[in-house]
Amino acid sequence: MRGMEWFGALASAALVAVLYVALLVAPEAVGEGAVQRILYIHAPSAFAAYGCIFVAAGASAVYLWKRSPAADRLAASAAEVGVLMCTFVLVTGSIWGRARWNAWWTPDPRLTLMLILWAIYVSYVLLRAFGGDDEEIAPYAAVVAIAGVLAIPAIRVSSRLMRGIHPSVIAPRDGGTGLADPYMRLALWGGAVAMLLVAAWLVTVRTRLERVEREVRAVRRAADAAEGVV
């Protein structure tokens, strides 16, 4: 197996191990029911989403500065995987909310923050998909990726102006109790590592695919041009 397959196998194994701990080993949280275990995917997906978004913005900044096509490909891939991870967060959160709050959605600060982030990077993906030539659209897409990260502090503060009911599990200073059992913490932090690995693996695969796709498009354009000459 080549490096990329090893990487994929490692990420998958980590995910399976975490699911084992999260679903079977960690004790059920008192009064929360089995649905609470969705936290072990929900919160790690959020870490991975932030990881992808920061990588996308960083790579975009490098691209604007150095104009390196590799940085642009990395940014495009990371933004796409970031959208996927945001979607995981929203979907798992929504399922949990239906069970716990009896509502799929509620205008809560953290929910709003994630939805806005999701929308920003969806617009990035749409710009890349419908904008036109890769080379022409790349600097514009880079501006979107960077602006998205710049907006995060403003989104955080402004969404707090709204009423909130989201539980605070990780940071005790926000009134969270923390996770009592060591296996719960293992499931959560192990889950974070596993999801980051999965995201990193998806980004590597996607970056390679992006390179091949662009080569194919370039060859096709050259072929079309040659045909025009004949």
Partner 1 sequence: MRAVLAIVRKDLLIEWRTRETVVTTAVLGILLVTVLAVAHDPTPAAAPALVAPVVWAAVVFTGLLGVERGFLLEREQDCLGGLRGAPIDPTALYVAKLLVNVLLLSVTQAVVVPLTGLFLRVDLWHAVPSLVVVLFLGTVGFAAVATLFAFVTVRLRTRQVMLPLLVLPLLMPLLIAAVKATEAVLGPGLGTARDAVGVLVSFDVIFVTAGLLLFPAIIRD
Task: Please state, in angstroms and rounded to a whole number, the distance separating the CA atoms of residues 177 and 169.
Answer: 6
Residues between 113 and 152 that touch partner 1 (CB under 8 A): 116, 119-120, 122-123, 126-127, 130-132, 136, 139-140, 142-144, 146-148, 150-151
- The residue among 9 and 162 lying less far from partner 1, judged by its C-beta, is 162
- Interface with partner 1 includes 159 (CB under 8 A)? yes
Residue type, 223: A
- Interface with partner 1 includes 225 (CB under 8 A)? no
Tokens of 29: 């949280």
Smallest gap from Cβ 198 to partner 1, in A, equals 25
Tokens of 143: 């501006």
Smallest gap from Cβ 61 to partner 1, in A, equals 10
Tokens of 37: 């275990």
- Interface with partner 1 includes 82 (CB under 8 A)? no
Smallest gap from Cβ 21 to partner 1, in A, equals 36
Position among 9, 154, 216, 222 found at the interface with partner 1 (CB under 8 A): 154
The string over 43-55, giving b where at least 16 C-beta atoms fall within 10 Å of a residue's C-beta and e elsewhere, is bbbbbbbbbbbbb
Cβ atoms 221, 213 nearer than 8 A: no
Compute CA 45 distance to the chain's CA centroid, rounded to the nearest angstrom.
7
Cβ atoms 8, 14 nearer than 8 A: no
Smallest gap from Cβ 33 to partner 1, in A, equals 33
Residues that bind partner 1 (CB under 8 A): 64, 112, 116, 119-120, 122-123, 126-127, 130-132, 136, 139-140, 142-144, 146-148, 150-151, 153-155, 157-162
